[in-house]
Amino acid sequence: MLPPTPTRALVLSLALVAQAAAGPLASSKRGLVFTPNSSSPQDNLIWASQPSDLTWYYNYQEIPSPVFDNVSQSAFEFVPMMWGKPDDISDTAFLKTVKQLVQDRGVNISHALAFNEPDGPAVYGGSNIDPAVAAQIWVNNFEPLRKLGIRVGLPACTGAPAGLTWLKDFLKSCSEIVSDGGPTKNCTFDFVPLHWYGNFEGLASHMGEYAAAFPNKTMWLTEYNLNHQDLASTQSFYNTSAEYMDRLPLVERYSLFGAFRSDVSNVGPNAAMLSAGGELTDIGAWYLGRPGTGVHPTSGGGAFRASGCHVTAALAGTLFATAAALLSF
């Protein structure tokens, strides 16, 4: 190991600054959890503006968001979702709506999502559905979608341990329904959505548990973030988790929960991708595949920048090259 000389310390500092400035810039896995801003509708246009790495989005609904009507489905894929349960368990409105999108409007729907945090109470944003009820709704709406060639994901449970228990109960009930007293059959699904709010170590552990529970299935991280932490920790979490998921073939897609302004964020201001003034923060810019902006999350306007230097992707590359050259001596 080389001694911690002043030169080496400077080199390491340059490398860290470059890493923080650049972020993991490019990925085809990234999508948008779209929560429209009615009070500042101009914010909604940010997510489909170019350049952007975002290739898909969902909005907790079964129909596309009109703000993205001018963007093709091939460029920005809409993924319909059944958020909760209908009043009538035999209701197939979701199935009919998706069919209409495909057959009448010509929208190439290739994936569908089911039930937002069904193991969680409504007060915390969960859809709070009994596993047996969810199973019947699934059989009525999602099994037919697979016959149309649409890939479907399991319900997206919370990051709590109870989530896996709920899914096991759901699949057991689903199997009983499709078997109908005959030979045992199982409900079919193509990928496993996950939610996580917490540190990176917890995220990696959570993903490992699901990988063990559902071998040979890819996963979508449809909601995740480090909530209510300081800015440095939140940026570090984003960079580490994004690089981790980009490298893992097991992760098919992911969508950071944070596409809103910091002053209305329910995961803390530092986790938001837009500042209080509606500008992209570093995390927001990185997530779109752009260089960092230096905009502080609590900034109310464009003039304010986070303390420290604003480093572009080009400068980040120069810093990395300089660091590598100096370390070679």
More confident residue, 18 or 28: 28
Query: Tokens at residue 230, please?
Result: 């300081």
Phi, psi dihedral angles at 202 (to 5 degrees)? -65, -40
> Over the chain, what HEC string results?
CCCCCHHHHHHHHHHHHHHHHHCCCCCCCEEEECCCCCCCHHHHHHHHCCCCCCCEEECCCCCCCHHHCCCCCCCCEECCEECCCCCCCCCCHHHHHHHHHHHCCCCCCCEEEECECCCCCHHHCCCCCCHHHHHHHHHHHHHHHHHCCCEEECCECCCCCHHHHHHHHHHHHHHHHHHCCCCCCCCCCCEEEEEEECCHHHHHHHHHHHHHHCCCCEEEEEEEECCCCCHHHHHHHHHHHHHHHHHCCCEEEECCCCCCEHHHCCCCHHHCCECCCCCECHHHHHHCCCCCCCCCCCCCCCCCCCCCCCCCHHHHHHHHHHHHHHHCC
What is the pLDDT at residue 29? 97
Q: Report if pTM > 0.75.
A: yes
Tokens 């085809």, residue located: 28
**pLDDT range class, residue 25, cuts 50, 70, 90:** low
**pLDDT range class, residue 17, cuts 50, 70, 90:** very low
Number of C-alpha atoms within 13 angstroms, CB side, residue 172? Answer: 8
**pLDDT range class, residue 16, cuts 50, 70, 90:** very low
Q: Any residues with CB less than 8 A from the CB of 49 and at least 6 apart, and which?
A: none
- Least reliable range by pLDDT among 199-203, 257-261, 322-326: 322-326
What is the pLDDT at residue 304? 35
